[in-house]
Amino acid sequence: MNQDQKRYLRGLLDEKNESLKQLDIVIDRCRKDVSTYLQPYLPIESIIGEIQIDYAVSAILEMKNRLEERKALVDEIDKIKAEIA
């Protein structure tokens, strides 16, 4: 592998690592949303409670998708690191 290819792969690796950082921020936000929406609520607030559960389910589904995306990204990063080494 020549120097240009290595330079390209290092740049690609930097991009992927930056994407991973951004994805971790989104996942953390989802985790906090789930925690917030699933806080215990009073029975009188049943309508609000149902809305919060809907939001929690939505946040859980988004977090699931982002975690799958993160796993794929980590696999790509590992492949690039193996090519550089």
What pLDDT, on the 0 to 100 scale, is given for residue 45?
58
Cα–Cα distances (Å) from 6 to 9, 42, 63, in that order, read 5, 59, 34
The span from the CA of 58 to the CA of 30, in Å, is 9
What pLDDT, on the 0 to 100 scale, is given for residue 70?
98
Provide the residue-wise pLDDT of the chain in tens; the chain has 85 residues.
Answer: 788 999 999 999 999 999 999 999 999 999 999 888 877 665 555 555 566 788 889 999 999 999 999 999 999 999 999 998 8
Identify which of 8, 54, 17, 50 has the alpha carbon closest to the alpha carbon of residue 33.
54
Domain boundaries, the chain: 3-84
